[in-house]
Structure 1
Amino acid sequence: MTTTWKVSLPCTRAEADLLAEDQLFIAGSDSTPTIVASESDSKRPDEWMIDVYCQVEPDAALIGNLLKLSPSAEAAAFQPLVEMLDDEDWVTLSQQGLEPLRAGRFHVHTSSDQPSDDPRLTNLCIDAGQAFGTGHHETTMGCLHSLDRLKRTSHRFRNIADVGTGTGLLAFAAHHLWPDAKIIASDIDPIAVAITEENCELNAIVPGNGRGQIRILQSNGLDHPALEQRAPYDLIIANILAGPLVALAPQIAAAASAGTVLILAGLLARQKTEVVRAYLSQGFRLRQTRLENEWPCLTLVKARKYGHARTPMRKKSPLAPDYFGEI
């Protein structure tokens, strides 16, 4: 029997942003913990929860370090809730019980549910696991709808990057919309990379470097040599958090060329101005905002006068979206 311990405490959205940015390691334990930050209630978007899963009983040092991740809980003298969970993968179970959903032309379901028999819909099978991006959060829904809209407005893409892929869902959606494209999906979390590989098999998608395939790799942002070598991309998707989105703006701009379409999500409405400003300064222009409750999904386009950072300006590909056209 495997025993898992869970430590929980509330936090703010800003504290969750910092947690994701810093990739903080919690000392005081003989095992590396799994840290999960999640929204408690979509109607109260500033209220989040930190759950830490570990294989040994949390000691005072671990609990003390955990409190430092949530200054608001520490200031309120909140005592973390400690639970012992027996013989289960509770990180996975925390995401189970999800109902199939519809987003644009996509029907997203788990392997325990039946795919849709509606010929107008594209089925995507995404099992719950120790990575995020099942499609049920507003940020992922916004990205699915935005990708669907690009297809409906006759945009074509041949070189696509999904940064912070989670379960691989958005990369899979792009694959179905543009089946001849080369797609690369990356995540900083090795667990997310492994789950994306598993989900590839569930969706009969071939991992690889060729057209119609998806290259899956672990990377902090776009630092991986394979991501740099394949640039510039004509479509970049990044559904992460506001802090990392701002920090990655120069890297993403360097991986884009004139006409590159960029889909950004993971930010709250009150963070939109800061994120948009970071990308305007890198030569992007905001073309559309889709709002799901308090979660905007932004579609931007790289302006013509800004070329790819490592290559000279060249004539725009006839396959690239028109910057002056409607997104």
Structure 2
Amino acid sequence: MSESAVQIIARGPRAVAESAAAALDADPLLEGATYSILEEDEDRGVWRIDAFPTTSDEADGVAATLRRHDGLVVTVEDLADADWLAMSLSGLPPVRAGRFFVYGAHDQGRVPVNTVNLRIDAGAAFGTGHHGTTVGCLAAFDELLKRERFERVLDVGAGTGVLAIAAARTGSPVAIGTDIDAPSVRIARENAKLNQADVHFVHASGLNDRQVRRHGPYDLVFANILAPPLVALSQDIKGALRLGGVAILSGLLRTQERRVSAAYLSRGFRLERRIHRDAWSCLVMRRVG
């Protein structure tokens, strides 16, 4: 397969699509693969996976994984030699999640006056606000803000920085974001400037970085990543939170809820809420032990 940009599309029943998505998540060679899963046709029960591989090896791996699932129809389409990510984002509508309104540059004139407006430009980072996992995190945060405030907030795997920026814009005096991807950190910093948000983004792997630890313990930790790292980081996230603090966990499929929640329940957390959007789940866990 050439290095030209491609989009891989798979359509089929929900159970098969969710199983295929879980297989993508479980493959260490596809850890950085970008894809979405959503219900395309409710009446016909058709679910759709869209993947945007960045290398030919990744494209071959994603296509092979999807084709191993009987019931999925998989197609690979060449993308024009253009900034296809920016082009695709330009057609996305704004997103409303509680008090938060997330929009791109193309929607500058459609911003309400009674919402917390977040302009997010994705570049090559994940997290425009349109993905079900990000919307779930914002909705969960909105509900929490109705009854409590969070002085210190950490966003693990910040991507575009939308969650840390949302915290800063709603009054958190300390908002820290981390990501293992240097371009994402750069993009998050640019988005913080666009939104006049006082957020400190750190290029770091894990939660043991000195710049992360010195601001803890945190009142709230966002972790919108994937199910395997959510499980692996359960003890570190507990250590970063004060007693009574909240973890908003996402990036997991509904079928992965039990595995992720069990890891946190065993560490002294209590499950307070689940939010489902399409095939994705967001868990609100409070540290009680």
- Counterpart residue number, 2:14: none
TM-score by length of 1: 0.74
Preserved CA contact (<8 Å) 2:150 2:220: yes
Determine helix, strand or coil for the equivalent of 1:166: coil
Is the aligned partner of 1:15 residue 2:16? no
Distance verdict in 2 for CA 1:299–1:224, change over 3 Å = same
Identity of aligned residues (%): 36
Preserved CA contact (<8 Å) 1:186 1:216: yes
One-letter code aligned to 1:123: N
- What is the distance in 2 between the residues matched to 1:281 and 1:289? 18
Among 62, 65, 83, which residue is 1:71 paired with? 65
Determine helix, strand or coil for the equivalent of 2:222: strand
| Deviation of 1:247 (Å) | 1.4
- Counterpart residue number, 2:193: 201
- What is the distance in 2 between the residues matched to 1:104 and 1:116? 17
Provide the aligned C-alpha RMSD in A. 3.0
Is the aligned partner of 1:189 residue 2:181? yes
Q: List gaps (5 residues or longer) in structure 1.
A: 26-33, 206-212, 307-327
Distance verdict in 2 for CA 1:126–1:117, change over 3 Å = closer
One-letter code aligned to 1:38: S
Moved more, 280-289 or 294-303: 294-303
Distance verdict in 2 for CA 1:85–1:113, change over 3 Å = same
1:130-145 alignment, distance < 5 Å: 130-145=124-139
1:261-272 alignment, distance < 5 Å: 261-272=246-257
One-letter code aligned to 1:197: R
| Deviation of 1:5 (Å) | 0.5
Among 162, 167, 179, which residue is 2:155 paired with? 162
Q: Which structure features the higher share of helix residues?
A: 2
Among 87, 95, 112, which residue is 2:89 paired with? 95
| Deviation of 1:67 (Å) | 3.1
Among 225, 234, 237, which residue is 1:240 paired with? 225
Distance verdict in 2 for CA 1:232–1:93, change over 3 Å = same
One-letter code aligned to 1:189: D
- Counterpart residue number, 2:13: none
- What is the distance in 2 between the residues matched to 1:156 and 1:222? 22
Distance verdict in 2 for CA 1:53–1:288, change over 3 Å = closer
One-letter code aligned to 2:24: A
Q: Which has the larger radius of gyration?
A: 1
- What is the distance in 1 between the residues matched to 2:97 and 2:74? 40
Distance verdict in 2 for CA 1:118–1:187, change over 3 Å = same
Preserved CA contact (<8 Å) 1:236 1:262: yes
Determine helix, strand or coil for the equivalent of 2:233: helix
Among 34, 37, 50, which residue is 2:35 paired with? 37
Among 87, 90, 108, which residue is 1:114 paired with? 108
Determine helix, strand or coil for the equivalent of 1:220: coil
| Deviation of 1:115 (Å) | 5.3
| Deviation of 1:282 (Å) | 0.9
One-letter code aligned to 1:5: S
- What is the distance in 1 between the residues matched to 2:46 and 2:160? 23
- What is the distance in 2 between the residues matched to 1:295 and 1:98? 19
| Deviation of 1:136 (Å) | 1.3
- What is the distance in 2 between the residues matched to 1:149 and 1:112? 28
1:160-309 alignment, distance < 5 Å: 160-179=153-172, 181-205=173-197, 213-303=198-288, 306=289
Q: List gaps (5 residues or longer) in structure 2.
A: 11-16
